[in-house]
């Protein structure tokens, strides 16, 4: 490889950056954008780098050989796609990271303060959910390998996000299954704190109902959640039709039966 490419590869490796964009190339080499694109294009033709999408690239590890194409871990790609905007890996992807699913999750879900369209990058489908700055909390570092990490929702925030958007997980039953699978590790006071901080009535209703159903919270905790309810009823599962009895205790329409939700504990 030429001296410019060698400089770029060396610096990216020193920064533990396997996924990078054109502005990173410009910062390292000092070249104008057009020259950066030309440099990276030639490096891709030589098998040194892989183009993920316009302006976004991966380094090909030396161990894979010059002719190989390499696509980085999607969690690291997500980190580069959002750049300096607050973000975290969320919903189904976070459920998988926290071992709260029984089937592989094919879509990479990212919550971010920047509006980004859903897209396929490096063969991975990415879905982005926009948040306000004040809604970015309950996150942790997730080490993808020994040197690189991404930001992911912690266990409790993962459940709260699932309760806010059950449709992203395939319905409330899948959210309940994930909650039960990790219920021994779950910090219930933190769950309540996050739901209260988010301030979404449907989340508070669904959380209270599931904690009540699975007997995961004491009466004081349940009363704390019930005190925040308004008179409005919400569907337990927004994916399902508005059918089923109304439960006044949690201001919910039970369009998924308690028996079905209880069955996840034995499935």
Contact yes or no for 76/144 (Cβ under 8 A): yes
Question: 3-class DSSP state for residue 233?
Answer: coil
Q: Per the structure block, which two tokens stand in for 105?
A: 């999750």
What letter would DSSP give residue 13? H
Place of tokens 């300096």: 84
Print pLDDT tens along the chain (267 aa): 688 888 899 999 888 888 999 999 999 999 998 999 999 998 888 888 898 988 899 888 876 655 556 778 899 999 889 988 999 999 999 999 999 998 888 899 999 999 999 999 988 999 999 999 999 999 999 999 888 899 999 999 999 999 999 999 999 999 999 999 999 999 999 999 999 999 999 999 999 999 999 999 999 999 999 999 999 999 999 999 999 999 999 999 999 999 999 999 887
Of 216, 218, 254, give the one whose Cα is nearest residue 237: 254
Residue 40 CA to residue 46 CA, distance in Å, equals 10
Q: How many CB atoms lie within 10 A of CB 181?
A: 18
Give kind and range of the element (H or E) at residue 125: strand 124-130
Whole-model pTM?
0.83
Residue 42 CA to residue 53 CA, distance in Å, equals 16
By CB atoms closer than 10 A (0-12, 13-18, 19+), residue 110 is: buried
């Amino acid at each position: 490889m030429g001296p410019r490419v060698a400089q770029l590869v060396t610096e990216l490796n020193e920064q533990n950056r396997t996924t990078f964009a054109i502005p990173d190339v410009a910062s390292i080499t000092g070249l104008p954008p057009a020259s950066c694109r030309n440099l990276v294009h030639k490096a891709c033709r030589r098998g040194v780098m892989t183009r993920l999408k316009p302006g976004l690239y991966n380094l090909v590890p030396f161990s894979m050989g010059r002719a190989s194409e390499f696509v980085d871990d999607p969690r690291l790609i997500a980190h580069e796609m959002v750049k300096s905007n607050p973000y975290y890996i969320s919903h189904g992807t976070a459920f998988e990271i926290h071992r709260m699913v029984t089937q592989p999750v094919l879509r990479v879900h990212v919550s971010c303060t920047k509006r980004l369209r859903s897209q396929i990058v490096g063969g991975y489908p990415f879905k982005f959910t926009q948040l306000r700055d004040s809604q970015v909390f309950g996150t942790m570092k997730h080490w993808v390998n020994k040197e690189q990490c991404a930001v992911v929702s912690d266990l409790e925030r993962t459940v709260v996000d699932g309760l806010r958007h059950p449709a992203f997980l395939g319905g409330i039953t899948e959210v309940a299954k994930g909650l039960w699978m990790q219920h021994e590790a779950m910090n219930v006071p933190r769950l309540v704190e996050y739901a209260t901080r988010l301030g979404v009535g449907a989340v508070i209703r669904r959380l209270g109902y599931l904690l009540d159903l699975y007997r995961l919270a004491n009466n004081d905790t349940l009363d704390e959640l019930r005190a925040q309810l308004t008179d409005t009823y919400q569907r337990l599962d927004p994916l399902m039709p508005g059918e089923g009895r109304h439960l006044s205790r949690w201001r919910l329409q039970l369009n998924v039966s308690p028996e079905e939700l209880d069955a996840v504990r034995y499935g």
